[in-house]
Structure 1
Amino acid sequence: MASQFREKIDSKPLKVLLRGLDSEDLPDLSCRYVSETEPYDAVIATPEETSSENLEWLTGGPSPLSTVIVVGSNAGVRADYVAESPNVENLTAGLRIAVDQRELLESVSDIPFNQDREGLIALGLMFSRDTSIEPVIDAEKSWVMEYPMLGSFMLPRQILESIADMGLCRRTFSERLYICGECRGARILAREVCANCKSANINTRELVNHYRCGHQAPRTDFLQGELLVCPKCNSHLRHFGVDYDTPGQVIVCKLCGSHENEPAVAFLCIDCQHQTDGESAGWVDYFSYTLTGAGEAAVRKGSLPGTQLESALSGLEAWRSPRDMALLINFCRNIYERYERPYSLLTIELRDDGDIFDRLGAQGVAKVHRLVVDTVANSVRETDGVSLFDRKIILCLPETSPEQSEYLVKRLRSIFHEQLKEPGDVEIDILDEEGRFEILKEAKSR
């Protein structure tokens, strides 16, 4: 094994990038050190350089699938090997992994700098590491679960869901997290509350049933000193099983005084302090993802089957093909003309010019696209319609007046203003009648 490894690196030296380390600090490893602008087979880095906050250099660099060797006791989020001390034995063990992974990656196309990039990186990691991508709990994050292998991705779950919808990887259920109805975070506390006023100030009390008059109430209502006296008929209850029994327990609210057979369940958000009723709480399912044959083919080819933007939108319940969108708009127009029932058409247009690519790069543009998709997914109803005409997202909102749709537009703009450095990269418009007719014509022509 040692001789085979030596032959491989002698015939084709490993190209290694150093991050946070100098070559003078390392022993002679018979490899060639390169700059971060050149392709490389492996990275030897400190833990700080491989934290999720600092991994942009890797995912945005020329070799995002390269082997990561971390020197130190902390593995970092993308470590393939951890060398506790930078001696020859430890580092050589890491470079052996790099040689094996380099051979696998020789059959993989270069990862392009376009909107497919992060999806292909995820697939490439599954392929070259022969492993699933799995979520782990991180209580410091408001969404609680994260995918360490995709540490620098802005929306890793959405990327993985997108490529899973394409059949490029297979889902296996991992966890379900309930989310706050206000801030959408998952750091929430489950608690029992009063079903009437939603206060958590509740107690369980023994229930007393008076046989003679049929009055039933918490035991505390019957107590007068040490005696039990019915508050309805003032009779003294002396003998259990003759005068009264205790059929169970009751929930008593100390705030509003109501009595309930069962408490309600609510979730208190520790980030924004909003309380969400258990019956109306939403949830997010997290999965681990395993590469499929189609995913391996996509990695080898270096492109995804269809754009991530359309693939992500097409997974929504409200998704409509251009033909189906034309039918929905036409139906809404007919209802509007006959019964004056309102409807709205919105467009969300993503800038796709040279300026935005120069400013954000392909990876940054892809992140903008994914933010838009995620925001739309959380905003539309199943009865609405969503379609995509080139880079323009069309939203058809039945039974929604333009005035009512203003609230949605304000919410969308608020999210984009908060999340994007340049909110103008996404333009949102409510169409007037002429604009709605033009969209209908365009939908019919596709």
Structure 2
Amino acid sequence: MKKAYIFLSFLFFSVVVYSQEGFQYYSKKNKVTIPFKLINNLIFIPLEVNGVELTFLLDTGVEESILFSLDEKEELKFNNVEKIKLRGLGSSDFIEGLKSSGNRVVFKDAIVDQNHDIYIILDEEFNFSGSVGIPVNGIIGYQFFKNFKVEINYLTNKIQVYNPTKMIKKKKINKYCVTDIVFHNNKPYLSSLFNLDSQNVQGKLLLDVGNSDAFWLFAGRINDYSFTKESFDDFLGKGFNGDVFGKRTKLDSFSFADFTFLKPYVAIPDSTSLANVKWAENRIGSIGGEILKRFHIIFDYKENKLYLKKNRNFKDPFHYNMSGIEINHAGLQWVQEEVNLNSILVTKNDDSYGVSNNNSDRFKYKFILKPIYIIAHIRKNSPADLCGLKKGDIIVSINAHGTNRYSLQEVNNLLKSQDGKKINFEVDRGNRRLKFTFYLKSIL
């Protein structure tokens, strides 16, 4: 079950946003390379805002740049600040925020916007760093893409931003499948005839780099198609205004352009979560990172083109989290590590010496940093729920190994690894240390 850790694809603002000149290219090279971290199919890139280094999620599903967490970067200063209200996906109403203009945003000292608008979310709960296990300060989307051809290589974890005065070599482009994209509120869509379970469906799908699922489909907006296969209710992630819930199911196949995907999982958000969405005409869903990571991709916003070439991930099977729990990274803690020492006792008897081992000593000699993993959500009647685990449990060990052995990505991979796999958790609940065992179970 791929988790859409961020669902700002539907983000819109209660104020009118006017286009800025945007990022300019200040390198003599034909392209600028930006490394990124890929976590749960999401792309995280380094940038500077007003001289301070930050990490942002790259998300084609948002128009403006959003900042929501500074951690220990209080020295960051903003220009020309005004109060606004923001609204997006989720079940709540508007939330308060700030708009700051005239900010300097820089990528690799070569891609620079001297007059960048940033929207600041004041709600401290809107912070998904815990969902991905690294500090994340904000989101950037359309403003990054609009002036350049941008290539994403999911295998090397590198983005190439091409000099807008140069052409990409035809020899390279000829290896790609090229398709047209259309824009609504500066977000890119495929507008096409799609094939769901051998049934043709006409509509638009948002190309959503900031959604980690394979597909999102909106059941009420797909004409003459119904989801008849087995499904289950699930927590889909956290949106702009609260938690997002819906169903998960599996298709036999899904096709667009020249590409067909077998047995993909899809998420179907419920109507409450979609209440605040401003719909693009004929929109039926989204294509997320679980699909996009199977390609080399070039976005060309100026020419309304998308270039796709299969990479070695293309035929990978689709997996989902079978445990029923969502785990968040809740920080780090110092813990004592015990080390067994072999004490050597030397004795003298007349002219000879004897050596013996004394293994009774245990010496606590150092502290280590261990991640704090907490159960943030648990699906009713899931294997984890039925064994007795609860929301709020702090995980101490997994399969008899301390949590410092695992990154959050590795924990999530373990929970979708194999039907029938045995998982042992040791948790802290209040003042008690408890042990639980469950088995991963596929229900799709």
Which structure has greater strand proportion?
2
Please tell me the TM-score bracket, short chain as reference: under 0.3
Report 1 or 2 for greater relative contact order, CA contacts < 8 Å, sequence distance ≥ 6: 2
The structure whose Rg is larger is: 1
Which structure has greater helix proportion?
1
